[in-house]
Chains A and B, each alone.
Chain A
Amino acid sequence: MMKIQHGEAERHVLTVTVDNEAGILARIAGMFTARGYNIDSLTVADISENHSISRITIVTQGPPSVIDQIHAQLERLVPVHKVTDLTESGPHVERELALIKVSGTGEKRVEALRVADVFRAKVVDTTTSSFIFELTGAPDKIDSFIAIMRELGLVEVGRTGIVGMMRGGNAA
């Protein structure tokens, strides 16, 4: 009997600057699907004054040879200007924003607010029985916050996915 084997994967954060044109997101995301690569998260937004360039941050997983192929396949796309593997390039910052809605009253509500303060989450909406917290940080910090909130009346989570940047004074 034959079984399908799966290889060992590493997590990498890639930033991609692209021409801000119709279909670019489908082209990038579709390339991952077509070639069987994973996308853990993907963020995209216009970053230029004249709206001509977007920056995409992709978190992906794969063995080193696959990560290298992903890099090369991205560079091969005509509207792609530059690809940087932040994980490969060295020290970098990864940040994510999350909105977390927690519902409850009494002890749990007080505890949620106290934990939010510890995590430096902001309250961006409140009713007498709920909060929406805004939290920014590295993904594992957000994971920990959400894990605690599960005990305290978590209702809904929205996360942006990661944006990343190299440390130091130079552009990637």
Chain B
Amino acid sequence: MTQERSGAKILVESLVRQGVEFVFGYPGGAVLPIYDELFGDDRIRHILVRHEAGAAHAAEGYARSTGKPGVVLVTSGPGATNAVTGIADAFLDSIPMVVITGQVATNLIGSDAFQEADTIGITRHCTKHNYLVRDPAELAATIDEAFEIATTGRPGPVVIDIPKNVQVATAPLSDAKPQRPQRYNPRLAAESDEIAKAIDLIANAKAPILYTGGGIINSGPRASELLRQFQALTGAPVTSTLMGLGAFPADHSDWLGMLGMHGTYEANMAMNRCDVMINVGARFDDRVTGRLDAFSPDSTKIHIDIDRSSINKTVPVDLPIIGDCATVLEQLIAAWGNRKATDLSEWKARIDGWRARDSLAYPRRSGDLIMPQYAVERLFALTRDKDPIITTEVGQHQMWAAQYFGFDKPNKWLTSGGLGTMGYGMPAAIGAQLGNPESLVIDIAGEASIQMNIQEMGTASQFRLPIKVFILNNEYMGMVRQWQELTYESRYSNSYSDSLPDFVKMAEAYGWKGIRIHDESELDAGIKAMIEHDGPVMVDCLVSKEANCFPMIPSGAAHTEMLLYGDVHAGTMDDEAKALV
């Protein structure tokens, strides 16, 4: 059946047909026709945020924790520009997201109309694709393609900019799936000769390593299962990027921990000394590789990635395999067949030697204050049986969470990796809680980052979302302070968090529970009280002000040049190193 419908109605119907449960948004002039369609329609639940950046991050949190695309609805001009940070974040971390932006009427475009911004121009290079829809007749097919592009291949954000007159004007809407050319066809499976070459390399390796990334998470939970199967067949030790945590269980004896700038000693040393590196869904990010000319100099590198532009972008590889992580892992497992795993005992003994450095060790006390690492360890110990979803902001607390919280399942760890967006964690927790109403969702935060989207406390209150925000409060933008200590002779330029609010009173003002933890003796009780409270909680955990995040590969250094707690650092760096990161 075909009926004449307004653009706004076509949009809402199309979203319902895509299976959208939640739309994260904020109304405004250029989306009023869409909001009027949403009024009283209980098939889609609209989550009213307090700032459009919150909408985009909430959609990301929903997407990362459920595997389903997040949907955002914002108005033109400032509505769209406020969402840009979240869109760019989703672009760098490959998060499926569809963002609907209102636009001024087509006859006003280009006239500097009220709340006009060139949304398509602004988002062109931070989206996987974007559209300006000029006729409601194009809407159904555009939305259908947008969801396909956002969710298949390497996932990412797609923006659909809809002028107000296109929302009001009508076009026929058919019950049938929209007709459109199939122009997006990502390659999913590897060629059989590529698989054979890979198996040959891996089977003959004396010191192999699996270096896994966010691609495994994006490929779906099955990819994590297949990774575990393939690891069991080969016996290769596993390390992961920040984005890939949870794909492989942190309590496994072959787990090396995270690699990279704040990775473990054993992970970085094993990367440096391996003979065959199997990169599954990671992209040789600069935070992972350290100094490129010293990155794993003697290994043969296999790179499995669905995005051909990731191949040889920064690190030249010997065997590129373009395909979906799950599909390729399945092919590798099938091709491995009944082979016996190579004897890797010598390699594992070397790894045990590096492990013995105990690179995550830290001084247990710092005066009267709690060590932040210890706070994260206790948080992990007291919540692990609840299988929590952890979100973070960006900075030291994020790295400590990655280092001291153990993940054993995918989609439980939501963090802003590529863009490094402070203010990501609380809205992401909101999105994750909506997608996983039964789960314990905790934002491990810093006192500086949390203030970047603190207005979203109101969203959690309104929708009765029992999210927990655990602030490691060291009164500094800790990572900035750490860099200033290590490279600028402790000149702490503007990194002190002055004039902090009273987070407990702030929690109470929003109808949350507020808990302050001053002393280690209160830590466990405070965490338990946080978990037990049936509603949103903000914990202000006062921690050591000058604790540093180690291990650390300093700017411009190689994997083998890690700083550990207790090492002496000069507090300066040459210009080349300063400029690198």
For the complex, is B107 an interface residue (Cβ under 8 Å from A)?
no
Q: How many A-B residue pairs have CB under 8 A?
A: 42
For the complex, is A91 an interface residue (Cβ under 8 Å from B)?
no
A-to-B contact residues, CB < 8 Å: 1-2, 19, 22-23, 26-27, 30-31, 34, 65, 68-69, 72-73, 75-79, 81
The 9 closest A-B pairs by CB, nearest first: A72-B309, A2-B575, A34-B125, A78-B129, A72-B308, A76-B309, A73-B309, A2-B576, A30-B124
Q: How many residues from B make CB contacts under 8 Å with A?
A: 22
A70, closest chain B residue (CB): B309
Which of A1, A68, A78 is within 8 Å of B128, CB to CB?
A78
B149, closest chain A residue (CB): A78
A34 vs B309: C-alpha distance when bound (angstroms): 15
Q: B313–A69 contact, CB under 8 A?
A: yes
- CB of B292 to closest CB in A, whole Å: 12
B134 cross-chain contacts in A, Cβ below 8 A: 22
A68 cross-chain contacts in B, Cβ below 8 A: 312
A2 vs B316: C-alpha distance when bound (angstroms): 26
A73 vs B307: C-alpha distance when bound (angstroms): 9
- CB of A50 to closest CB in B, whole Å: 12
Q: A75–B124 contact, CB under 8 A?
A: no
Contact bitstring B115-128, A, C-beta under 8 A = 1, else 0? 00000110011001
Q: A30-B124, A65-B316, A78-B183 are in contact. List 18 more A-B contacts (CB 8 A).
A: A2-B574, A2-B579, A22-B132, A23-B124, A23-B132, A26-B121, A65-B312, A69-B309, A69-B312, A72-B308, A72-B309, A72-B311, A75-B308, A75-B309, A76-B307, A77-B129, A78-B129, A78-B149
B576 cross-chain contacts in A, Cβ below 8 A: 2
Task: Answer whether A26 and B309 are a contact pair too, CB < 8 Å, given A1-B575, A19-B183, A78-B149.
Answer: no
B183 cross-chain contacts in A, Cβ below 8 A: 19, 78-79, 81
A73 vs B183: C-alpha distance when bound (angstroms): 17
- CB of A14 to closest CB in B, whole Å: 15
B-to-A contact residues, CB < 8 Å: 120-121, 124-125, 128-129, 132, 134, 149, 183-184, 307-309, 311-313, 316, 574-576, 579
A78 cross-chain contacts in B, Cβ below 8 A: 128-129, 149, 183-184
- CB of B564 to closest CB in A, whole Å: 28
27 contacts between A and B (CB under 8 A): A1-B575, A2-B574, A2-B576, A2-B579, A19-B183, A22-B132, A22-B134, A23-B120, A26-B124, A27-B124, A30-B124, A30-B125, A31-B125, A65-B312, A65-B316, A69-B309, A72-B308, A72-B309, A72-B311, A72-B313, A75-B308, A75-B309, A76-B307, A76-B308, A76-B309, A78-B183, A79-B183
A140 vs B473: C-alpha distance when bound (angstroms): 66
A170 vs B307: C-alpha distance when bound (angstroms): 28
A72 vs B320: C-alpha distance when bound (angstroms): 13
A22, closest chain B residue (CB): B132
A73 cross-chain contacts in B, Cβ below 8 A: 309
B128 cross-chain contacts in A, Cβ below 8 A: 78
- CB of B572 to closest CB in A, whole Å: 14
- CB of B211 to closest CB in A, whole Å: 21
B307 cross-chain contacts in A, Cβ below 8 A: 76
B130, closest chain A residue (CB): A23
B575 cross-chain contacts in A, Cβ below 8 A: 1-2
- CB of A2 to closest CB in B, whole Å: 4
- CB of B227 to closest CB in A, whole Å: 25
A26 vs B130: C-alpha distance when bound (angstroms): 12
A114 vs B456: C-alpha distance when bound (angstroms): 77
A79 vs B579: C-alpha distance when bound (angstroms): 36
B184 cross-chain contacts in A, Cβ below 8 A: 78
A77 cross-chain contacts in B, Cβ below 8 A: 129
A26 vs B120: C-alpha distance when bound (angstroms): 10
- CB of A62 to closest CB in B, whole Å: 13
A152 vs B129: C-alpha distance when bound (angstroms): 51
A81 vs B308: C-alpha distance when bound (angstroms): 15
- CB of B311 to closest CB in A, whole Å: 7
A26 cross-chain contacts in B, Cβ below 8 A: 121, 124
A73 vs B310: C-alpha distance when bound (angstroms): 9
B312 cross-chain contacts in A, Cβ below 8 A: 65, 68-69
B126, closest chain A residue (CB): A34
- CB of B401 to closest CB in A, whole Å: 32
A73 vs B125: C-alpha distance when bound (angstroms): 11
A69, closest chain B residue (CB): B313
A72, closest chain B residue (CB): B309
